[in-house]
Amino acid sequence: MTTTIVLQQAINGVVLGSLYVLVALGLTLIYGVLVQINFAHADFVTLGAFAAYFFMHLVGAGYIISIGVAFLVGAVLGWLINAAIFTPLRRKGNELLPLIATIGVSVMMQNLMLAWFGPIPYAFETPYSSQVIRFAGIYVSWQNVIIIAVSSVTIALLYAFMKFTFLGKALRAVSQDRETAGLMGINPNQLIMLTFVIASALAGMAGAMLAPVLVLTPFAGTSVIVKAFAIVIIGGFGNVEGTILAGLIVGLIESYTTQYLDPGLIDIVVFALLLVMLAIKPTGLISERREENV
């Protein structure tokens, strides 16, 4: 009985964790390259969710295709926010300006979505959410299997892209040492744009996969974003491997805190871990080999 519960909560935690990873990876990619935070990232998740919902319900397309649509919507949003906010503000000196500007964007997006979609939660049913696999007292829905599968594949692709392609290597180079990257003959502006597009596409996609799981309202994304911030720090800013690990850990913390303590305490446990991490190892779970001037 107890081992089944422990196992079941592990599965629950991993499902949630892999969704958090997708959201947090976008934040960490942007941070790695620009040392900046896009506060509207959460709303990209929400809009991705709505995009998938309406694509499924209005066009009648399948769920998997609608995940792709949300990916594209996210990509467009990423391009837009970079062109409209981050590029113009880059030369203005104050690193807090983009953060505040994107808070404005976030307020605007939430309330526009509220005006369009209304406050009443949508029921996003996919053909997979009601099909459940049961085995030895453990269960998992096909929806969750898809979540784990799609996020694993995406994360693996992203990882391979970063490790093995020229562009990916360039991204890593920029995030680790901007001057050297400039010397390598890489146009940093294009790289930054690419980063925003990838990061936001991940957010949109995460939205499509979160939509059947969470309560789909114009405020859906905000409930994930505070945890995504925590994951980015615990994993070490700009560190992809660390973020993946941290995301899974936070997912597991959530399910085990629910089981053994109280769901009300989840944020306290997560952020206490964050403060402990900052105190003992501020560079994150996995340190990259780079000069830390923290």
Q: Is the Cβ of residue 29 or residue 170 nearer to another protein in the bound state?
A: 29
Contact between 23 and another protein by CB under 8 A: the answer reads no
Q: Which residues contact 128 (CB under 8 A, 6 or more apart)?
A: 63, 141, 142, 143, 145, 146
Contact between 176 and another protein by CB under 8 A: the answer reads no
The number of residues that bind another protein (CB under 8 A) is 84
Residues 112-131 binding another protein (CB under 8 A) are 112, 114-115, 118-121, 123, 125, 129-130
Region near another protein per CB under 8 A, out of 67-75, 149-157, 188-196, 228-236: 228-236
Burial of residue 262, with CB atoms counted within 10 A of its CB: 0-12 exposed, 13-18 middle, 19 or more buried: exposed
Judged by CB under 8 A, the residue of 23, 27, 51, 85 near another protein is 85
- DSSP symbol at 124: -
Contact between 13 and another protein by CB under 8 A: the answer reads yes
Contact between 9 and another protein by CB under 8 A: the answer reads yes
Nearest 10 degrees: Cα torsion 91, 94, 96, 100: -70
Judged by CB under 8 A, the residue of 59, 139, 189, 190 near another protein is 139
Contact between 222 and another protein by CB under 8 A: the answer reads yes
Contact between 266 and another protein by CB under 8 A: the answer reads yes
The pair of structure tokens assigned to 103 is: 């808070």
Contact between 157 and another protein by CB under 8 A: the answer reads no
Residues 62-81 binding another protein (CB under 8 A) are none
Minimum distance, C-beta of residue 119 to another protein, in the bound complex (Å): 4
Contact between 280 and another protein by CB under 8 A: the answer reads no
Region near another protein per CB under 8 A, out of 6-14, 71-79, 148-156, 188-196: 6-14
Judged by CB under 8 A, the residue of 160, 282, 287, 290 near another protein is 282
Q: Is the Cβ of residue 74 or residue 284 nearer to another protein in the bound state?
A: 284
Residues 190-219 binding another protein (CB under 8 A) are 210, 213-217, 219
For residues 208 and 138, what is the distance between their CA atoms, to the nearest angstrom?
26
For residues 242 and 234, what is the distance between their CA atoms, to the nearest angstrom?
8
Judged by CB under 8 A, the residue of 58, 94, 135, 185 near another protein is 94
Minimum distance, C-beta of residue 219 to another protein, in the bound complex (Å): 5
For residues 209 and 176, what is the distance between their CA atoms, to the nearest angstrom?
31
Q: Dihedral of CA 236/171/222/92: which sign?
A: positive
The residues with which 139 forms a beta bridge, in sequence order, are 134
Q: DSSP 3-state assignment of 141?
A: strand
Interhelix angle 41-54/188-210, rounded to 10 degrees, is 50
Contact between 237 and another protein by CB under 8 A: the answer reads yes
What value, to the nearest 5°, has the Cα angle with vertex 225 and ends 222 and 226? 105
Q: Is the Cβ of residue 109 or residue 248 nearer to another protein in the bound state?
A: 109
Nearest 10 degrees: Cα torsion 107, 109, 111, 114: -150
